[in-house]
Amino acid sequence: MAKIVTITGIRPDFIRMSKVFEKLDENFEHIMIHTGQHYDDELSRIFFKELKIRKPDFTLQTGKNSRNHYEQLSYLSKEVIYLLKRKKIEPDWVVFLGDSNSALVSAPLFKEGYKIAHIEGGMRSYDRRMPEEVNRVICDYVSDMVFVYTPLYKERLIKENKNPSQIHVVGNTIVEVVKDYLPAGPRERNFIVADIHRNENLSSPAQYNHILQYLDTLGKKLGMEVRLVKFNRALKLIRKYKLLNDKKYIKLVGPYGFLDYLRLQYNAYGVVSDSGTSQEECPLLGVPVAVPRNFTERPESIDNGNSILVGETRPIARMVKDTVKFFDNYSISKDKIKWLGNGKTSDKIIRIIKRNTK
């Protein structure tokens, strides 16, 4: 039986990989390594429990032993390889998902001769301010097998001189997960959800305050509370510079597990998020998304009318006007979410791994 090692470490990894983990266990000798990049209950354990993910075979201590990105990479580069050699694990494939620092350990593994597979390949925002952009480019480059969500991502990789035979269009792993836990019933639709955590919006107090002012003005314009999800880095800025003292429409909430956050988005009038995941989850929930970024690695979400880019530093009045117009006129249909795939991604991935494993 072929031996597959998966290496994952952050909240979106656990969610997106939950069905893939299940299918890998059924079809291969699957060894799950949790890097510990997100290690507290809100960002790790609760997602394993809610999504019925089994206990990892090995859990590292990345988040506890590393204070920044280069310490994380240094720690992981040693610990993952030491673990494989110490336990005499000789995988046919080492599988990564996404663009976190956990995925960046694919580079030292590649140099050691391991065969790498990358799920969520080909995403590009072409914004090099994003650490995630660098991570995903490197992981794609060293991968022998790349699973991409859409034909567009395959085209991008081919332009980057990736061998087309190594690239497989499989659809988005998030679809089958959301479908299994899709909320139902009447919607409240009397509040806005805001999720702001990217580096470009938290790089300075002035920039973050600009986004918060936009959110507060949006709440006032719509007459709705803006429920801003807590993130540690953002909270530090809020407390240090008292950024919410003059913003009465914003309420801090969370953090949430996957199911509670899915329900929160489902009940919202609209979502304001710089998270790529929201641009995929919310169309499945029938909820509009305003993205306070200048670029996105998910242009299909924009092209299909699922979300809108409102920018990072544009005048607040313009950002609010565009958001209100989009939220008020939003509609969803099956055609608008075809780009996400048919919800059978994990099965496709398993078939392709089998086909490419001797």
Q: Any idea which residues carry the catalytic annotation?
A: 197
Distances (CA, A) of 81 to 60, 77, 87, 121: 12, 7, 10, 23
Helix, strand, coil percentages for the chain (3-state, nearest 5) = 50, 15, 35
Question: Distance between CA atoms of 102 and 35, rounded to whole angstroms?
Answer: 7
For residues 9 and 96, what is the distance between their CA atoms, to the nearest angstrom?
Answer: 10
Residue 45's identity, in one-letter code, is: R
Question: Residue 168: which region, alpha, beta or left (left: phi > 0; alpha: psi -120 to 50)?
Answer: beta
Q: What is the DSSP letter of 196?
A: -
The answer to whether the peptide bond before residue 205 is cis (omega within 30 degrees of 0) is: no
The residue among 340, 242, 247, 226 whose CA lies nearest residue 292 is 226
Start-to-end C-alpha separation, the chain: 10
The two tokens of residue 102 are: 């956990």
- Least Cα distance to 293 among 281, 285, 302, 284 occurs for 302
- How many Å apart are CA 16 and CA 173, to the nearest integer? 5
